[in-house]
Structure 1
Amino acid sequence: MKFLTALIVTMGISTAAMAQSVVVDVVLNPMGDFKGKTSDLKGEAIVKGDEVSAQNIVVNLKNLKTGVEVRDKHTQKYLETSKFPEAVLVSATGKGGKGTGKIKIRGVEKDIAGTYKVEGKVLKAVFKLKLSDFGISDINYMGVGVEDEITLNVNVPVKS
Structure 2
Amino acid sequence: MKKLIFTTALLCSFNLWAQVTVDVVLNPMGNFKAKTDSISGVAEVTGTDVSAKNVRVDLRTLKTGIEVRDKHTQKHLHTDKFPEAILSIAKGKNGKGIGRISINGQEKEIKGTYKIVGKNLEADFSLNLPDFKITDINYMGVGVEDEVKLHVIIPIGTAAATPAAPVSAPAKVAQPVAPVKAVMPPAKK
TM-score, structure 1 as length reference: 0.88
CA shift at 1:19, angstroms? 3.6
Would you say the 8 A contact 2:15–2:40 is kept in 1?
no
Equivalent-residue separation in structure 1 for 2:40 and 2:47 (angstroms)? 23
Q: Deviations over 1:71-125 (max 9, x none)?
A: 0000000011110011101100000000000000011100000000001110000
Instruction: Quote the residue 1:45 is aligned against.
Output: 43
CA shift at 1:21, angstroms? 1.6
Would you say the 8 A contact 1:16–1:121 is kept in 2?
no
Instruction: Quote the residue 2:136 is aligned against.
Output: 138
Alignment partner of 1:70 is 2:37: no
Instruction: Quote the residue 1:107 is aligned against.
Output: 105
Instruction: Quote the residue 1:153 is aligned against.
Output: 151
Higher relative contact order (CA 8 A, sep 6+): 1
Equivalent-residue separation in structure 2 for 1:20 and 1:158 (angstroms)? 10
Equivalent-residue separation in structure 2 for 1:74 and 1:17 (angstroms)? 26
Alignment partner of 1:96 is 2:94: yes
Q: Deviations over 1:21-60 (max 9, x none)?
A: 2100000011110000111111000001111000000001
**Are the structure 2 counterparts of residues 144 and 54 from structure 1 closer, same or farther at C-alpha, using a change threshold of 3 Å?**
same
Would you say the 8 A contact 2:113–2:124 is kept in 1?
yes
The aligned amino acid for 1:77 is K
Q: Which runs of 5+ in 1 are unaligned?
A: 1-14
Instruction: Quote the residue 2:120 is aligned against.
Output: 122
Percent of pairs with identical residues: 60
TM-score, structure 2 as length reference: 0.75
**Are the structure 2 counterparts of residues 114 and 94 from structure 1 closer, same or farther at C-alpha, using a change threshold of 3 Å?**
same
Q: Secondary structure at the match of 1:159?
A: coil
What is the aligned length?
A: 146
Indicate the structure (1 or 2) with the bigger Cα radius of gyration: 2
Instruction: Quote the residue 2:53 is aligned against.
Output: 55
* Runs of 4+, deviation exceeding 6 Å: none
Q: Secondary structure at the match of 2:156?
A: strand
Instruction: Quote the residue 1:4 is aligned against.
Output: none
Instruction: Quote the residue 1:21 is aligned against.
Output: 19
Q: Secondary structure at the match of 1:90?
A: strand
Q: Which runs of 5+ in 2 are unaligned?
A: 1-12, 159-189
Instruction: Quote the residue 2:3 is aligned against.
Output: none
Q: How big is the alpha-carbon RMSD for the aligned residues of Structure 1 and Structure 2?
A: 1.4
